Chain A
Amino acid sequence: MGDSVRKNGILFFVGLVILTGFLSAKSVETAADWSSGTAYVLPAGRWEMGLFQPLRYGLSGGQEFSTHPLLFVKMPNLTYKRVWKADERGVIASRHQLLYPTPLLNTVARKGIGGIVSPEFTFPAMVSLHNEVLYTKKLMGSMQVTGKAGITVGVAFGDLDKRMTIDLPLVFQRLAVFYNNWLIRLGGDVTGHLSGRWNYLVDSDVFLIPGAEENFGFEHKGLLLWNKSDRFQLAIGYKLVYGQYPYGTQWHLLPPKVPGLPVWIPLFDLQWAW
């Protein structure tokens, strides 16, 4: 293992120390349903999951765990969220995610259909740790605004060739941490009630990758949420991504228009709770 691996290891260790410091402090009990983009956690004992959203579980003491269960086998991932302060001015929480994408990446480094990465390459063991602070404040009426700031550190226990990048929106910026050792994520969510059973969610995230050639990414999502009950929610909307890639910069609207279909199909998600 060379200098880069050692450097990555140190960064990862620093991340772990920060995480341990957070976890050793006392948490605060506060919770809300359908609250994934906010500083709130789920009520104790409540489960939520969606087709594309992670499985989330609320614990007592203002804590929450989440994971993408379908991806877990190929990409072990676990997120812990904890509320630190809650009063009339707002809620402060932290979120910490551990990710091991190596098996998934090696699965898609293959010949034939589904080969996202060339089979010439094998990904080394790679781990990332994302730590972020969230602050949610209620504004006028039902509107709720959340600000987020976080740092991701990543370790690759071996060499990564620059030809191994996956130059796709959402993916390229998230994997950049393994090439750059660290990145900064800033973001904001706005949620609120529209009318009847309809709510909205608008969010934005910025990826800053200091020192990298492609050092900027921006994601924005707009969703209309239809709450059938506190047990079921339907989300429909879009995601916009602007990013710097090895080939240049590009806007992407997601999901992309499927060739052959006369109209664009929006993003949708079905979410359940129990």
Chain B
Amino acid sequence: MKPTLALLTVILPFLFFQGCDPIVTEFPPVSNAISYQAKEVVDVPGKDTLLVMTWNIRFGVGRMAWFGDACGERVIATDDEVLTVMEALAAKINELDPDIIFLQEADVESKRTGYLDQVQWLLDHTALNYAAYASMWEAQFIPSDGLGRLNTGNAILSKWEITDAERIQLPLRGDQDALTKLFYLRRNILKTRIALPGKDNFYAVDIHATAFATDDTKKKHLARFKEELDKIVSDGGIFLAGGDLNEIPPGAAKLDYCLEDMCEGESYHQPGDDPEHREGSYFLYFDDENTWLQGLYDTYYPAVAHSDYIADEARYFTHTPDFANLSTDAWDRKIDYLWASDPWVAGSDSTHHEAVTTSDHCPVTAKWVIP
């Protein structure tokens, strides 16, 4: 009896250890993404032209004054608040009826949004059938600001089956201490292969690049994104890509939003201010920062042509941090993009400023003829 008990005392923890999740999930350089399927899958015939969307849905809290990005005091949304926004997101998606969506900031198991799996919810409430999900922040418990359990990330939703889905780890921020870095976001590229009828070389790639790094982490993220797209093309593939790049297009008139985004009690640009610039609001930490997207523009097809953007910037703005302004002119910068290996249908792009209550980003859509 005694040896048995002693043995159990030693063995039990090791047995269960295998089944227990770590406090914070760390990811290998490349891993499998999580696959989803709608409750009811609807057969979709092949198409010549796809409607594609990218949308940072801000974890389904709409324009709530969240503490992390909105000068707000809110942390945990109510179930009703989340459901109201999710219904608005689904209504917009159903109205536009995209074939493929690149989502960013989708919560799948987070206390702040009532543990609703937003990827599954959107699949079940739209015409999309399949999804792949790659977490950028997965922790059993974040012991800060009452955040608690968190799992949020990128997702690709598709009407056609996703046959392969990879989560590609992006470099972690280099400007944080070790403890903060441990509990902080692990951004990624989500690369999927989708079974478009008659195509076995079609890829869809989603990214959410760093917003707040003050070092060259963003440059590395953008370079890694382009590298992945280059690899698809050099292997004979075709792709659609989208996401929140957290970078302003080359030649944009304004690169410094520190004062516009400043919360009460903050100060920037004054002698002695530390930091001098507001994280996430300044796009000129490096002299060449405004050229970091140039390679993408030079190599691939943006849904919004660069010349169009320069001609009328305000028309293409996709983001606003101004949570008091719920009018359609609240948008003040472009950081969300769609790219493709082959040309878009000319003039088919739309930056949906009317979706102003559903997120701090608006969806961007465009049509693409399958080559």
Asked if A116 and B76 sit within 8 Å, CB to CB, the answer is no
Partner of B19 from A114, A251, A257 at Cβ < 8 Å: A251
* A200 in contact with B5 given A256-B20, A257-B22, A259-B22 (CB within 8 Å): yes
Minimum CB–CB distance for A137 against chain B, Å: 15
CB-CB under 8 A from A120, the residues of chain B are 73-76, 146
Q: Which residues, 7 to 35 on B, are CB-close (under 8 Å) to A?
A: 8-9, 12-13, 16-17, 19-24, 26
Interface residues of chain B, those whose CB is within 8 Å of chain A, are 1-2, 5-6, 8-9, 12-13, 16-17, 19-24, 26, 67, 73-76, 78, 109, 111, 114-115, 140-141, 143-149, 182
Q: Which residues of B contact A220 (CB under 8 A)?
A: 12
A residues near B75, Cβ cutoff 8 Å: 118-120
CA distance A252 to B67 in the complex (A): 30
**B5 and A192 within 8 A (CB):** yes
- The answer to whether A140 and B143 touch across the interface, beta carbons within 8 angstroms, is no
A117 x B146 contact (CB < 8 A): yes
Known: A113-B144, A120-B75. A167 touches B16 (CB 8 A): no
Given contacts A116-B146, A222-B8, A240-B16, 14 further A-B contacts (CB under 8 A): A112-B144, A115-B146, A115-B147, A116-B148, A120-B74, A120-B76, A120-B146, A163-B78, A163-B111, A246-B114, A256-B140, A257-B23, A259-B22, A264-B13
Interface string of A177-217 (1 = CB under 8 A from B): 00000000000001011110000101000000000000000
Contact with B along A247-274 (1 / 0, CB 8 A): 1101111001111100010100000000
Q: Is A93 an interface residue (CB 8 A)?
A: no
Q: Quick check: is A168 within 8 A (CB to CB) of the other chain? A: yes
B1 near A111: Cβ-Cβ < 8 Å: no
The reply to whether B115 and A246 form a contact with Cβ atoms under 8 Å apart is yes
Structural contact, B115 and A264, CB atoms closer than 8 A: no
**In the complex, which residue of chain B has the Cβ closest to the Cβ of A238?**
B13
With contacts A200-B9, A238-B13 taken as known, whether A109 is within 8 angstroms of B146 at the C-beta atoms is yes
Q: Give 25 CB contacts A-B under 8 Å.
A: A112-B145, A113-B144, A114-B144, A115-B147, A118-B76, A118-B146, A118-B147, A119-B75, A119-B146, A120-B73, A121-B146, A167-B111, A192-B2, A192-B5, A222-B8, A222-B12, A238-B13, A246-B115, A247-B111, A251-B19, A252-B20, A253-B17, A259-B22, A259-B182, A264-B13
Contacts of A202 in B (CB 8 A): 5, 8-9
Residues of A within 8 A of B74 (CB): 120
- The distance in angstroms between the C-alpha atoms of A63 and B67, with both chains bound, is 51
Instruction: Give, as a whole number of angstroms, the nearest-CB distance from B147 to chain A.
Output: 7
Q: Which residues of chain B are within 8 angstroms of A194 by Cβ–Cβ distance? A: 2, 5-6
Whether A256 touches B23, Cβ cut-off 8 Å, given contacts A112-B145, A115-B145, A264-B17, is yes
Expressed in whole angstroms, the Cα–Cα distance for A200 and B76 within the complex equals 43
Residue of B76, B145, B146 with most chain A CB atoms under a 10 A cut-off = B146
Using Cβ atoms and an 8 Å threshold, which residues of chain A touch B23? 256-259
A86 and B289 alpha carbons, distance in the complex (Å): 80
Q: Which residues of B contact A193 (CB under 8 A)?
A: 2
Known A200-B6, A253-B20; contact A260-B13, beta-carbon cutoff 8 A: no
Contacts of B76 in A (CB 8 A): 118, 120, 163
Select from chain B the residue with minimum beta-carbon distance to A121: B146
Q: How far is the CB of A127 from chain B (nearest CB, A)?
A: 23
Q: Flag if A190 contacts B17 (CB, 8 Å).
A: no
The answer to whether A251 touches B146 (Cβ under 8 A) is: no
Q: What B residues does A256 contact at CB under 8 A?
A: 20, 22-23, 140
Which residues on the B side are within 8 Å of A76 (C-beta)? none
A143 with B12: CB separation less than 8 A: no
Nearest CB in chain A: distance from B185 CB, A: 15
A237 within 8 A of B: yes
Query: Which of B20, B24, B141 is within 8 Å of A168, CB to CB?
Result: B141
Measured CA separation A152–B75 after assembly (Å):
31
A126 is an interface residue with CB less than 8 A from chain B: no
Distance in angstroms from A158 CB to nearest chain B CB is: 18
Of all chain A residues, the one with the shortest Cβ separation from B25 is: A259
Instruction: Tally A residues with Cβ within 8 Å of B.
Output: 47
Contact between chains at A224 and B9 (CB < 8 Å): yes
Q: CB-CB < 8 A to B78: which residues of A?
A: 163
**Separation in Å of the A164 CB from the closest CB of chain B?**
9
| Residue on A nearest B21 in the bound complex, by CB | A250
A265 to B267, CA, bound (A): 44
Closest residue of B by beta carbon distance from A198: B6
Which residue on chain B has the smallest CB distance to residue A224? B9
Bound: A110/B67 CA distance, A:
12
Q: In the complex the two chains form, what is the Cα distance from A168 to B23 in whole Å?
A: 11
A266/B13 contact (C-beta < 8 A), A247-B115, A252-B20 known: yes
Q: A residues within 8 A CB of B22?
A: 256-257, 259
Expressed in whole angstroms, the minimum distance between the Cβ of B74 and any Cβ of chain A is 6
Shortest CB distance A270–B (Å): 19
Instruction: State in angstroms the CA–CA spacing of A167 and B8 once bound together.
Output: 28
> Contact at A167–B149, with CB atoms within 8 Å?
yes
Query: Are the C-beta atoms of B16 and A115 separated by less than 8 Å?
Result: no
Rounded to whole angstroms, the CA-CA distance of A116 and B146 in the bound complex is 5
* Nearest CB on B from A243, distance (A): 12
| CB-CB nearest 4 A-B residue pairs | A118-B146, A118-B75, A238-B13, A222-B9
Report chain A residues within 8 Å CB of B145. Answer: 110-112, 115, 118-119
The residue on B at minimum CB distance from A246 is B115
* B33 smallest CB distance to A (angstroms): 20
Measured between beta carbons, the chain A residues less than 8 angstroms from B109 are 247-248
| Bound CA span A99–B74, Å | 30
User: What residues of A have a CB within 8 angstroms of the CB of B148 in the complex?
Assistant: 116, 166-167
B12 with A257: CB separation less than 8 A? no
How distant is the Cα of A117 from the Cα of B146 in the complex, in angstroms? 4
Which of B13, B17, B22, B149 has the largest count of A CB atoms less than 10 A from its CB?
Answer: B13
